[in-house]
Structure 1
Amino acid sequence: MTQRTSKFSFPVAALALGLSLAVLSGCKDKEAAPVAAPAPAKETAAAAPAPAAAPDATTHLRRLLASQGNPKLTVTDSPVAGVKAVAIENGPTLYVSEDGTHAFQGVLLDLRGEQPVNVADAARSAKAKEAIKALKEGEWVTFGSTSPLAHIYVFTDVSCGYCQKLHADMPKLHALGIQVRYLAFPRGGENSAAWGQMQSAWCAEDRAAALEKLFKGESLPAAAATCETPVASQHALGLDLGVTGTPTIVLADGDVLGGYLPAEELAKLAIANKGE
């Protein structure tokens, strides 16, 4: 980089010379007083060039993701010195060197306890636990026990065969003391038929009865344009938690289970991980 000379060096010297000439020219009608020679201008130290911004954990990653709409990146510390965890919005979590030059995607295990712990899963569970705690009564559709031993949240899609299979287990789950709280996650997005049907279910006076019909393959009238539902916000929440398929089950303590589980196995996990 070229060294820059301070822009103040030349003007200071010129100003000193101008002052001396002004004094001399002002004494022409009488004897001029002795004028001391102007002191040489002090040379101002050249300003140091601004250091280039040090690359961080996302510098190169942002460049590579620019063509994909610059998704939001959330950077947190990982248990490994010199390595950051970078969660890509609606995407995976990468482990990236602090200078951002290297990354890997995969399972990072914490081996310090009695059992190895998947670091990404632990972080996801903590995030999911906070997210479900923030949900309000009435945002979900409830099935199963009204006096449960445990409750679970299920991101569901009425057009999904395994979601229909899980729903068919509802009598068993009820008998086992499990309450199911459904959250909408139409996999095809806003333009899918399932999205519109789930909007209609959440707009229905009896949401549970409406969902029951949809799980059986029946259809509902289109929702009124003025009806506001949490379908979009629940779908966005699912994406934020890394949901890519349905059913995705969130236990009360935040543990996330992907896919269908038989009622007995699901009930055992729900009760064992019912949280506080």
Structure 2
Amino acid sequence: MLKQFFILSLSLAFCSTSFANIETVKSKLAQQYPNVKIDNLQTTEMVGLYSGTLENQVIYVNEEAQHLFIGSMIRLKDQKNLTKDLALKQNTVDFKSLPLNDAVKSVRGNGKRQLAIFSDPNCPYCKTLEGNLAQLNDVTIYTFIYPIKTQSIIASKQVWCSANKDYAWKSLIQNGVKPTAAANCETPIERNLELGKKLGLHGTPAIIFSNGYKVMGAYPAAEIEKIWQQFGL
């Protein structure tokens, strides 16, 4: 794992040249490693090193597209973690703009920490995440039921039409107990599907932290706690 970088100040002339080389790096990656899909490729403060995202993780690649680095880039003069800022910028949505009234709300303890979850009841990883979320304390969880599987749509609407949405959701996602309520009320399910597409959620589960940081997958409770600590949430 990359442990430290020596940061160099770049001149405007070099920035212009380096920017032009982004396309060259993209081309080399496509030719030499077509199965390595790096998004958001851009220059960094370090000469000859480019940042990007690979499977939702910030990575660095050299100009020859022959070496990939994973780790934190620290600017020595002020000890600023540039990787942390980059991760937040590239995987952020506006949490305050989320229509929380369209989500199933669950409060644990004082509820001071907040998470928004996009989950499909027939997604096995969503079931795993639900178990992980149950280990968290002092959190408010907003679950946007997101039935990207067509067989999940009716059950999702039944959850929303239940008298106790939180209980109905947990019974379905954790125990496979289908709701008994009829799916004949007005639901936000279609809006949730549109919202997920707008946010670029092509799978489930998705976790959005209160600062807007977005991750995909069934993160363990300990990893969620680490992210809270990392961002001071």
For the criterion TM > 0.5, the same-fold answer is yes
**How far does the alpha carbon of each residue in 1:30-77 deviate from its partner, in whole angstroms, 9 at most, with x for none?**
xxxxxxxxxxxxxxxxxxxxxxxxxxxxxxxxxxxxxxxxxxxxxxxx
Q: Give yes or no for contact 2:160–2:187 (8 Å, CA) kept in 1.
A: yes
Shift of 1:123: 4.5
State the number of aligned residues. 170
Which among 154, 168, 181 is matched to residue 142 of structure 2?
181
Which among 108, 114, 117 is matched to residue 151 of structure 1?
114
Which among 148, 168, 171 is matched to residue 134 of structure 2?
171
Which residue in the other structure is 2:53 paired with? none
Shift of 1:221: 3.7
Q: What is the aligned-residue RMSD (CA, Å)?
A: 3.2
Which residue in the other structure is 1:254 paired with? 212
In the TM superposition, what are the counterparts of 1:1-276 in structure 2 within 5 Å?
Answer: 106-107=38-39, 108-112=41-45, 114=75, 115=81, 117=83, 122-125=89-92, 128=93, 130=94, 132-174=95-137, 177-188=138-149, 192-215=150-173, 216-221=175-180, 223-225=182-184, 227-273=185-231
User: Quick one: which amino acid aligns to residue 156 of structure 1?
Assistant: S
Structure 2: runs of 5+ lacking an equivalent: 1-14, 24-29, 31-36, 46-73, 76-80
**If you compute each CA radius of gyration, which structure gives the higher value, 1 or 2?**
1
Cα distance in 2 between the residues matched to 1:209 and 1:151 = 19
Q: Give yes or no for contact 1:183–1:234 (8 Å, CA) kept in 2.
A: yes
Name the structure, 1 or 2, with higher relative contact order (CA <8 Å, separation 6+).
2
User: Quick one: which amino acid aligns to residue 135 of structure 2?
Assistant: K
**How far does the alpha carbon of each residue in 1:183-239 deviate from its partner, in whole angstroms, 9 at most, with x for none?**
121122xxx1211111111121110011012111111246443x2111111121111
User: Quick one: which amino acid aligns to residue 217 of structure 2?
Assistant: G
Q: Give yes or no for contact 1:251–1:274 (8 Å, CA) kept in 2.
A: no
Cα distance in 1 between the residues matched to 2:203 and 2:154 = 18
Partner SS, residue 138 of structure 1: helix
Cα distance in 2 between the residues matched to 1:133 and 1:256 = 13
Cα distance in 2 between the residues matched to 1:212 and 1:156 = 12
Give the % identical residues: 23
Shift of 1:149: 3.9
User: Quick one: which amino acid aligns to residue 198 of structure 2?
Assistant: D
- Provide runs of 4+ in structure 1 moved above 6 Å: 118-121
Structure 1: runs of 5+ lacking an equivalent: 1-79, 83-94, 97-103
Q: Give yes or no for contact 1:110–1:119 (8 Å, CA) kept in 2.
A: no
Partner SS, residue 136 of structure 2: helix
Q: Give yes or no for contact 1:253–1:274 (8 Å, CA) kept in 2.
A: no
**How far does the alpha carbon of each residue in 1:51-107 deviate from its partner, in whole angstroms, 9 at most, with x for none?**
xxxxxxxxxxxxxxxxxxxxxxxxxxxxx869xxxxxxxxxxxx99xxxxxxx8733
Cα distance in 2 between the residues matched to 1:244 and 1:252 = 21
TM-score for the superposition, normalised by structure 1: 0.52
